[in-house]
Amino acid sequence: MSGHIHIFDRSEFDGIDNIIVGQGLGHQDLIVNGDHSKMALGRVDREGKVSYEFAPLAMPMEMHCHPRSEVVKHSLRDAPHAPVIQKIDQACADRTKKTAFR
């Protein structure tokens, strides 16, 4: 198991089952899964058998309000990603309203 390239993947590499554990709750969430990430969780039982669970991780939409996200969001404004981008735009607008009153 490995991680931190901000995408989920499972592949075989030289006969080894390689799992990149999660999307890191980043911009790939929008491209690949919509409004959630996947995280691979491995469990080893007493006999050494490994089992995996691929769990969804919810990320607050306002976490996509960072200026670095704008290029990715701009590229996804058309279908089929438009509904998710609209949710993010609304969350960012709501966040701006909240912080304006602090």
Question: 20-31 pLDDT, tens per residue?
Answer: 766 555 666 666
Distance CA 101, CA 75 (A): 31
User: Model's pTM, two decimal places?
Assistant: 0.56
**Which amino acid would we find at residue 96?**
T
Can the peptide bond before residue 80 be classed as cis, meaning omega within 30 degrees of 0?
yes
3-state SS, residue 37: strand
Q: Band of the pLDDT at 69, cuts 50, 70, 90?
A: confident
